[in-house]
Amino acid sequence: MHRSSSLFAFLVILLAAGSVEPSAAIAQIVDYPQTRDADGVQATIQQLFDGMRAGDSTMVRAVIHPQARFQTTLTRDGRSLLHTGSVDEFIAAVGTPHDEVWDERIDGLEIRVDDNLAQAWMQYWFYLGDEFSHCGVNALQLFWDGEKWQIVQIIDTRRRECEGMRDGR
């Protein structure tokens, strides 16, 4: 697979935002409270995905730890694969203009916090503009650096068949 195609496919997987229209979500970017609890974790996640939807790489970089790791799991030809992507390439791609809005709709967000570690788990359905692309589960791990939550790990699954998952529309 060509490197830019691979990066785009990886980016598409990582997008998540809530189930609001893209223009409404962009208009809602106002304040992301940094509290050391589940509300602060959720605000960090929302900032990541609002920034991705808005194409704002500065907003995205602000919530990602410099040593973060982005991974995707998938099954191809009956084999389980694990892909690790470049955080810097991902952030640069977010800020690169693209024709279609990346709209990932999430459901079932579960957040657990213990001291300076948090984990979030959610189902997602990704749309490129109005066209369904794929679905799966996102799992994020975050670190409280003393002032704010930072994402240190994103790993997700990707598939085209979403039977058994609630519809994220």
Chain segment 88-128, per-residue pLDDT in tens: 999 998 889 988 887 888 899 999 999 999 999 999 998 88
Please give the model's pTM, rounded to 2 decimal places: 0.77
pLDDT at residue 129, rounded to an integer: 84
CB 168 within 8 A of CB 123: yes
Phi-psi region of 18 (alpha: psi -120 to 50; beta: other; left: phi over 0): left
| Whole-number Å distance between alpha carbons of 100 and 97 | 9
CB 141, CB 118: distance < 8 Å: yes
Q: Which residue has the higher pLDDT, 153 or 100?
A: 153
Domain residue ranges of the chain, discontinuous segments joined by +: 3-157
Most confident of 11-15, 25-29, 144-148: 144-148
pLDDT reported for residue 22 = 38
* Topology annotation, domain 3-157: Nuclear Transport Factor 2; Chain: A, (3.10.450)
pLDDT in tens, 16-56: 333 333 333 433 444 666 788 899 999 999 999 888 888 88
- Residue 101 has what pLDDT? 82
pLDDT of residue 145: 95
Which of the residue ranges 26-40, 56-70, 122-136, 154-168 would you say has the lowest mean pLDDT? 26-40
